[in-house]
Amino acid sequence: MKILAIETSCDETSASVIEGKIPVKLNKKSFLGIKILSNVISSQIKIHAKWGGVVPNLAAREHLKNIVPVINDAIYMAKTNLNKIDLIAVTRGPGLIPALLIGTNSAKAISYFYKIPLIGIHHIESHIYANFIQKRPPGDIEFPILCLIVSGGHTQLVLMKNHLKYEIIGQTLDDAAGEAFDKVAKILGLGYPGGPIVSELAKQARKLQGHLDDQLKIADSKTRTSFPRPMLNSEKFNFSFSGLKTAVLYFYKKIEQETKNQNQLNLWKKYICKEFEEAAIEVLTKKTIRSAKEFKPKTILLAGGVAANSFLRDQLSLSVKKELPETVFSSPPPELCGDNAAMVGAAAFYRYILTKNKIPFQKNWKSLEADASMEI
Ligand code: KG4
Ligand code: ZN
C-alpha cells in the first residue's frame, strides 16, 4: 500500500510517499517492509536564522507557501498520483500550532477530495519509527525496546514493550537536549540551528586537542573547565540541561571579557563546544545505560534530531557494547533523524497494520484536529 505523509510541526515542510508491504501473517514483533519512494524536505532554516530560533507565525506562512509544491514534488518523485494513494498520514502534534494547522488542514482537504483515509500521528512516534524503515546492523530490533529521544523539543527515555506501546520513564525537567545545543550556539554567536554547528566545532576541538591546550594555556588540569553534568547521579531517569547552558554562559562571558584577540576567542569557542557536548552526552549516555540496566530491554534505540550527532551515536554505541553486550543498539540513518515525512509514513503504516479495525479512518478528514501538546 502507498502512504502519502505530511510533516509541518516545526520549521521543515516535508512530504513523502512510502510503500508498505502488507504482511500475509502478522508477526507483531517483526519488521514490516517499507520502501521510501520520495521524501521531500523544504527547510526554513535561513528564514528563522535571523531571529535565532523558530518564529511560529513565520513558520506557518512558509509552510503555506511550500506545502502544495512539496506534496506535488513528493508525488512526482514517487512516480505516482493521488488516485493511487491508500492512506494519508499527517503529524497531529506536538509542535507549533500555526505550523501544525497547515499540515493537518492540507491533509484533511486531500483526504476529503480524493476520499482517502486519514491518520494523525504523534511527532515522537514518528521519530521512533524512523528506526523501523530499514533494517540496520548489527542485529534485529526486538522488544522490549528502550528509546532515547533527543530533539529540539523533547528529551525522553521511553520504554516500549511492544509496537505502539509507550511508557515514559524519564524526561527533561527544563530544556530539551537540542534546545541546549541551540542555546549554547546562540551564546557563542554561532547561528541557528546550533546542534550541527556546535557538534562540528566540538569535533574540530577534539582533533586539535594538544594545540588547543597550548594555545589556551589549559594543559594544567587545574585551569581546565569542567562543565556540570546535571542530575547525572540522581536516582530517577530525568534530565536537566538549563544549568549546563547557564554554566556555559557565565564561562563564556568571562572569557570574552579577558580575550582581546579574535583568533584566540574562536579557539575558546571550539573548546567550549567540545566541553559542552561532552558534558551533555555523558549525561544522556550514562542515564540511558543505567535505565537499561534497570528495565533490561533487548534493544536500545536513538531517535530525534540530536540523534544525528555522531559523538552521541558513537558514545552510546560504545557504552552499549561495553556494558550491555547482549543488547542491540540502533539509530536511524542520519538523514532520517531530523524532521521528515518518511518517518511519519512509517509510523502510520505500523499503526494502520496493527490497529486497522479500531480507527475510524473514513471520518478523520472531519474530526482530525492538530494538538500542540499531544501526549504519546
Ligand atoms: O527532531 P528535530 O529535527 O526537531 C524537533 O522535533 O525539535 O530536532 C531538531 C534539533 C535542533 O535542536 C538541532 O539543533 C538538533 O536537533 N540537532 C543536533 C544535531 N543535528 C540537529 N544537535 C546536536 N548535534 C547534531 N549533529
Ligand atoms: Zn522532531
Task: Encode burial over 334-368: b for 16+ CB neighbours within 10 A, e otherwise.
Answer: eebbbbbbbbbbbbbbbbbbeeeeeeebeebbeeb
Q: Whose CA is nearest to atom 22 of ligand 1?
A: 195
* H helix and E strand count, the chain: 12, 10
d(CA 371, CA 93) in angstroms, rounded, equals: 5
pLDDT at 45: 87
Instruction: Tell the residue nearest (CA) to atom 26 of ligand 1.
Output: 309
Confidence (pLDDT) at 210: 81
Cα distance between residue 50 and residue 53, in whole Å? 8
Q: Is the CB of 120 under 6 A from ligand 1?
A: no
Element of type H or E holding 119: strand 118-122
Work out the pLDDT band at 30, boundaries 50, 70, 90: low
pLDDT at residue 222 greater than cutoff 60: no
pLDDT digits (tens, 9 = 90+) for 268-321: 999 999 999 999 999 999 999 999 999 999 999 999 999 999 999 999 999 999
User: What is the overall mean pLDDT for the chain?
Assistant: 92
Residue nearest to atom 2 of ligand 1 (CA): 305
**Mean pLDDT on 326-352:** 96
pTM above 0.85, yes or no: yes
pLDDT at 236: 87
Q: How far apart are CA 334 and CA 195, in angstroms?
A: 13
Give per-residue pLDDT as tens, 85-115.
999 999 999 999 999 999 999 999 999 999 9
Written as nine digits, the cell of 126 is 514518528
Rounded to the nearest whole angstrom, what is the distance from the C-alpha of residue 120 to the centroid of ligand 2? 15
Q: Is the CB of 150 under 6 A from ligand 1?
A: no
From the CA of 263, how far away is ligand 2's center (Å)? 35
How confident is the model at residue 214, as a pLDDT? 83
- The answer on pLDDT for 133 being more than 60 is yes
Ligand 1 contact via 10 beta carbon (within 6 Å): yes
